A and B are shown apart, each in its own frame.
Chain A
Amino acid sequence: MPPRQQTDALRGSLDLLILKTLSLSPMHGWGISQRVQQLSKGVLEVNQGSLYPALQRLEKEGLVTSDWDTSDNNRRARYYKLTATGRRALGVELENWRRFAAGLESVLAVS
Chain B
Amino acid sequence: MTWFHAARARLRLLARRDAESRIDEEIRFHIEMETQRLVREQSLPHDEAQRRALATFGGVQQHREALREGRGTAWFNGMSLDLKLGARMLVKYPALTVVGGLAMAFGIWFGAVTFHMAGLVTSPKLPLPDGDRIVKIQNWDAKTLKEEKRVLYDYQFWRTARSITDVGAYRNASVNLVGADRPAQPAVAAEITASAFRIAPERPLLGRVLDESDERAGAPAVVLLGHDVWTTRFDSDPQIVGRNVQLGDRFVTVVGVMPDGYAFPVAHELWLPLRTDVAGVEPRRGAEITVFGRLASGTTLENAQAELQSLGRRLAAEHPATHATLQPHVIHYAKFGMESIDASVMMALTYVFLVAFVMMVCSTVALLLFARAAARETEILVRSALGASRRRIVAQLFAEALVLAGLAAMIGLLAAQGTLTRWGAPYLELNYGRLPFWYDFDLSLRTIVCALSLAVISAVVAGVMPARKITRGLGTQLRAGTAGGGVSFGGIWTAVIVAQIALTVSLPSVVMLARSEVNRIASFDAGFPTPEFLAVTLGIDGPLQETLTDQARIALDARFRDALESLRQRVEAEPGVTGVTFVDRLPGESHVYWRLHEVTVPETKARWVTTATIHPSYFDVLQAPMIEGRAFTSADLSPEARVVIVDQGFADRVAPGRNLLGHHVRLSIAEGADSNVVQLPWYEIVGVVKELGMQSAASARRVAGVYLPFVPGSQRSVKMIVHGRGNPLAMAPRVRELAMGVDAALQLDQVMRLDQVVIPELWMHRVWMRIIIGLTAVALLLSLSGIYAVLAYTVARRTREIGVRVALGAGPRRVITSIFRRPLIQVSLGVIGGGVIIAVAAIGVQNSARFSGTGTGGLTLGDIPLLLGYTILMFGVCTLACVVPTLRALRVQPTEAMRAE
Query: Which positions in A face B, CB cutoff 8 Å?
Result: 1, 28-30, 34, 47-50, 52-53, 56-57, 59-62, 65-66, 71, 73, 75-78, 83-85
The size of the chain B interface, using a CB distance under 8 A, is 33
Please name all residues of chain A whose beta carbon is closer than 8 Å to the beta carbon of B23 when the two chains form the complex. Answer: 52
Please name all residues of chain B whose beta carbon is closer than 8 Å to the beta carbon of A85 when the two chains form the complex. Answer: 1-2, 5
Q: For the complex, what is the distance from the CA of A107 to the CA of B18, rounded to whole Å?
A: 48
A53:B5 contact, CB within 8 angstroms: no
Q: For the complex, what is the distance from the CA of A83 to the CA of B7, rounded to whole Å?
A: 14
Interface residue? B27 (CB, 8 A): yes
Please name all residues of chain B whose beta carbon is closer than 8 Å to the beta carbon of A76 when the two chains form the complex. Answer: 25, 29
Say how far B29's CB is from chain A's closest CB, in angstroms: 5
Other A-B contacts than A71-B29, A83-B2, A85-B5, 9 sampled, CB-CB below 8 A, are A30-B33, A52-B63, A53-B63, A53-B67, A56-B70, A57-B70, A60-B70, A65-B8, A65-B9
A60:B27 contact, CB within 8 angstroms: no
Please name all residues of chain B whose beta carbon is closer than 8 Å to the beta carbon of A83 when the two chains form the complex. Answer: 1-2, 5
A49:B13 contact, CB within 8 angstroms: no
Say how far B2's CB is from chain A's closest CB, in angstroms: 4
B59:A49 contact, CB within 8 angstroms: yes
B5:A62 contact, CB within 8 angstroms: yes
The residue from A1, A47, A77, A84 contacting B29, defined by CB atoms under 8 A apart: A77
Most buried by B among A30, A47, A75: A30
Please name all residues of chain B whose beta carbon is closer than 8 Å to the beta carbon of A29 when the two chains form the complex. Answer: 26, 29-30
The residue from A47, A49, A77, A84 contacting B60, defined by CB atoms under 8 A apart: A49
B461-484 toward A: CB 8 Å interface, digit per residue (1/0)? 000000000000000000000000
Please name all residues of chain A whose beta carbon is closer than 8 Å to the beta carbon of B13 when the two chains form the complex. Answer: 56, 59-60
B25:A78 contact, CB within 8 angstroms: yes
B1:A84 contact, CB within 8 angstroms: yes
B1-42 toward A: CB 8 Å interface, digit per residue (1/0)? 111111011100100000000110111011011101100000
Please name all residues of chain B whose beta carbon is closer than 8 Å to the beta carbon of A56 when the two chains form the complex. Answer: 13, 67, 70-71
Please name all residues of chain A whose beta carbon is closer than 8 Å to the beta carbon of B70 when the two chains form the complex. Answer: 53, 56-57, 60
Q: For the complex, what is the distance from the CA of A77 to the CA of B31, rounded to whole Å?
A: 12
B6:A61 contact, CB within 8 angstroms: yes
B2:A62 contact, CB within 8 angstroms: yes
B63:A49 contact, CB within 8 angstroms: yes
Please name all residues of chain A whose beta carbon is closer than 8 Å to the beta carbon of B33 when the two chains form the complex. Answer: 30, 71
Top 5 A-B pairs, shortest CB-CB distance: A62-B6, A49-B58, A62-B2, A49-B63, A85-B2
B57:A53 contact, CB within 8 angstroms: no
The residue from B1, B9, B66 contacting A53, defined by CB atoms under 8 A apart: B66
Query: Which positions in B face A, CB cutoff 8 Å?
Result: 1-6, 8-10, 13, 22-23, 25-27, 29-30, 32-34, 36-37, 56-60, 62-63, 66-67, 70-71
Say how far B38's CB is from chain A's closest CB, in angstroms: 12
Most buried by A among B33, B56, B60: B33
Name the residue on B nearest A49 (C-beta).
Answer: B58
| A-B CB contacts (within 8 Å), total count | 82
Please name all residues of chain B whose beta carbon is closer than 8 Å to the beta carbon of A30 when the two chains form the complex. Answer: 29-30, 33-34
The residue from B4, B25, B57 contacting A48, defined by CB atoms under 8 A apart: B57
Please name all residues of chain A whose beta carbon is closer than 8 Å to the beta carbon of B10 when the two chains form the complex. Answer: 60
Q: For the complex, what is the distance from the CA of A36 to the CA of B626, rounded to whole Å?
A: 117
A50:B58 contact, CB within 8 angstroms: yes
Say how far A89's CB is from chain B's closest CB, in angstroms: 10
The residue from B1, B22, B36 contacting A78, defined by CB atoms under 8 A apart: B22
Q: For the complex, what is the distance from the CA of A26 to the CA of B409, rounded to whole Å?
A: 51
B22:A65 contact, CB within 8 angstroms: no
Please name all residues of chain A whose beta carbon is closer than 8 Å to the beta carbon of B36 when the two chains form the complex. Answer: 73
Please name all residues of chain A whose beta carbon is closer than 8 Å to the beta carbon of B56 when the two chains form the complex. Answer: 48
Please name all residues of chain A whose beta carbon is closer than 8 Å to the beta carbon of B25 when the two chains form the complex. Answer: 76, 78
Q: For the complex, what is the distance from the CA of A48 to the CA of B22, rounded to whole Å?
A: 17
Q: For the complex, what is the distance from the CA of A77 to the CA of B13, rounded to whole Å?
A: 17
Q: For the complex, what is the distance from the CA of A71 to the CA of B37, rounded to whole Å?
A: 14
Q: For the complex, what is the distance from the CA of A92 to the CA of B22, rounded to whole Å?
A: 31
B6:A49 contact, CB within 8 angstroms: no
B5:A65 contact, CB within 8 angstroms: yes
Say how far A35's CB is from chain B's closest CB, in angstroms: 13
Please name all residues of chain A whose beta carbon is closer than 8 Å to the beta carbon of B4 when the two chains form the complex. Answer: 62
Please name all residues of chain B whose beta carbon is closer than 8 Å to the beta carbon of A61 when the two chains form the complex. Answer: 6
Name the residue on A nearest B19 (C-beta).
Answer: A56
Q: For the complex, what is the distance from the CA of A65 to the CA of B9, rounded to whole Å?
A: 8
Please name all residues of chain B whose beta carbon is closer than 8 Å to the beta carbon of A71 when the two chains form the complex. Answer: 29, 33
Q: For the complex, what is the distance from the CA of A61 to the CA of B13, rounded to whole Å?
A: 12
Q: For the complex, what is the distance from the CA of A34 to the CA of B38, rounded to whole Å?
A: 12
Q: For the complex, what is the distance from the CA of A66 to the CA of B23, rounded to whole Å?
A: 13
A75:B29 contact, CB within 8 angstroms: yes
Please name all residues of chain B whose beta carbon is closer than 8 Å to the beta carbon of A50 when the two chains form the complex. Answer: 58, 63, 66
Say how far B17's CB is from chain A's closest CB, in angstroms: 16
Say how far A63's CB is from chain B's closest CB, in angstroms: 8
Please name all residues of chain B whose beta carbon is closer than 8 Å to the beta carbon of A34 when the two chains form the complex. Answer: 37
Q: For the complex, what is the distance from the CA of A77 to the CA of B26, rounded to whole Å?
A: 7
Q: For the complex, what is the distance from the CA of A99 to the CA of B3, rounded to whole Å?
A: 29
Q: For the complex, what is the distance from the CA of A78 to the CA of B9, rounded to whole Å?
A: 13
B27:A52 contact, CB within 8 angstroms: yes
Q: For the complex, what is the distance from the CA of A78 to the CA of B24, rounded to whole Å?
A: 11
Please name all residues of chain A whose beta carbon is closer than 8 Å to the beta carbon of B3 when the two chains form the complex. Answer: 1, 62
Say how far B154's CB is from chain A's closest CB, in angstroms: 64
Say how far B426's CB is from chain A's closest CB, in angstroms: 58
Name the residue on A nearest B53 (C-beta).
Answer: A48
B9:A59 contact, CB within 8 angstroms: yes
CB-CB under 8 A for A49 and B9, given A30-B30, A30-B33, A75-B29: no
Please name all residues of chain A whose beta carbon is closer than 8 Å to the beta carbon of B60 when the two chains form the complex. Answer: 49
A60:B9 contact, CB within 8 angstroms: yes
Name the residue on A nearest B3 (C-beta).
Answer: A62
Most buried by A among B8, B30, B71: B30
